[in-house]
Chains A and B, each alone.
Chain A
Amino acid sequence: AQKITQTQPGMFVQEKEAVTLDCTYDTSDPSYGLFWYKQPSSGEMIFLIYQGSYDQQNATEGRYSLNFQKARKSANLVISASQLGDSAMYFCAMREGRYGNKLVFGAGTILRVKS
């Protein structure tokens, strides 16, 4: 079974609007971490936001927030006030276990911001 599922291969959003990128995960470990990375066309992977499984509140980092629904095993990324520079590939990833030694990545979602 896929550990991380991103069901949206591609998304469009109008500049200045908000967009939600979906991510569901599968694990039986009660301790885990969820990450979102951005990969622009230049190829580098940029860390955006992190949510621990025991965190009581949804993580926020500037215009990025993570809608964490533990019972549904979803960790959707919300980008508010989209900018043209947000156009990129976005990856959801999971660390299993408190000291899990790797991140497992989803297939990614391409986001295109329209002016």
Chain B
Amino acid sequence: GAGVSQSPSNKVTEKGKDVELRCDPISGHTALYWYRQSLGQGLEFLIYFQGNSAPDKSGLPSDRFSAERTGGSVSTLTIQRTQQEDSAVYLCASSLARRLAGGPSGANVLTFGAGSRLTVL
């Protein structure tokens, strides 16, 4: 697609429920990232995929959080037994090149989706 697509854009759930957030990266982008942004805060790294493998899961806050990527494309972030502190905007990003940089081609640029806003009541 033309950009990084995320769904749902908004999700309200009750504490203890499981949620799935989906990310569809830009076509051909091999690198995919999940970040979390709590209200008024900076972005917190969660997980990085290169192809279907996740060489860096260091940012996942607990074992309630998991993510997978299939076919080198779509990724799903799953949060089990949601807690109120999980409320945040979950941002997905992708890049064509492994090395993140600038450059006129845009290949090395990390491009973000619009995010999925999760509210846990």
Contact = CB atoms under 8 A, between A and B. Distances in A.
B115 A91 contact: no
A105 interface: yes
B10 to A, nearest CB: 11
Interface in B89-121: 89, 91, 93, 98-103, 109-115
Contacts of B111: 47
Contact of B101 (A37, A50, A102): A50
Interface-centre pick from A37, A47, A100, A104 (highest chain B CB count, 10 A): A47
A16 interface: no
Interface residues on A, range: 20 to 34
Contact of A105 (B42, B56, B101, B102): B42
Nearest to B112: A45
Interface-centre pick from B43, B101, B115 (highest chain A CB count, 10 A): B43
B40 to A, nearest CB: 8
Interface of A: 4, 33, 35, 37, 42-45, 47, 49-52, 59, 91, 93, 95, 98-108
A100 B89 contact: no
A21 to B, nearest CB: 14
Given A43-B89, A101-B55, A101-B56, A108 B42 contact: yes
A50 B99 contact: no
Contacts of A107: 41-42
B100 A43 contact: no
B101 A33 contact: yes
B100 A95 contact: yes
Contacts of B114: 42-44
